[in-house]
């Protein structure tokens, strides 16, 4: 399911992976970190699929990669400092915001 969401939307697998990992009694921070590792591998597979199908615009993507890397580093540093209860609220808020954006399009 994570791979399907990642392939269809370019991301979104974490929305499924994090709750599944947490239901397996993995602590929230490890669930988020494990989800990122999972999504990384799924993103590589998705990228190759889009590349082989000639649906990838590297010129445009290179403009955003540095910002994504900076955001990833900041997120990894903040994850260590955020309490689990706040992390759950932030994750829930991001999911609600994403759902709202999708509904408004």
pLDDT over 80 (residue 25): yes
Quick one: tokens of 98? 């994403």
CA angle 80, 84, 89 (to 5 degrees): 115
CA distances to 24, 70, 89, 93 from 2, in Å: 16, 24, 21, 20
Question: According to the model, what pLDDT value does residue 101 have?
Answer: 87
pLDDT band at 1 (very low <50, low <70, confident <90, very high): confident
Quote the CA–CA distance of 34 and 17 in Å, as a whole number.
Answer: 9
Q: Residue 31: CB partners within 8 Å, gap ≥ 6?
A: 17, 18, 21, 22
pTM of this prediction?
Answer: 0.74
Q: What is the mean pLDDT of residues 26-41?
A: 91
């Amino acid at each position: 399911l994570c791979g399907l969401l990642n392939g269809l939307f370019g991301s979104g697998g974490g929305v499924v992976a994090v709750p599944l990992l947490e239901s397996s009694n993995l602590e929230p921070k490890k669930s988020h970190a494990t989800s990122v590792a999972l999504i990384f591998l799924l993103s590589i597979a998705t990228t190759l699929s889009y590349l082989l199908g000639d649906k990838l615009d590297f010129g445009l993507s290179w403009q955003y990669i540095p910002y994504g890397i900076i955001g990833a580093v900041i997120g990894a540093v903040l994850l260590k400092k955020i309490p689990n209860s706040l992390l759950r609220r932030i994750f829930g808020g991001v999911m609600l915001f994403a759902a709202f954006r999708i509904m408004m399009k």
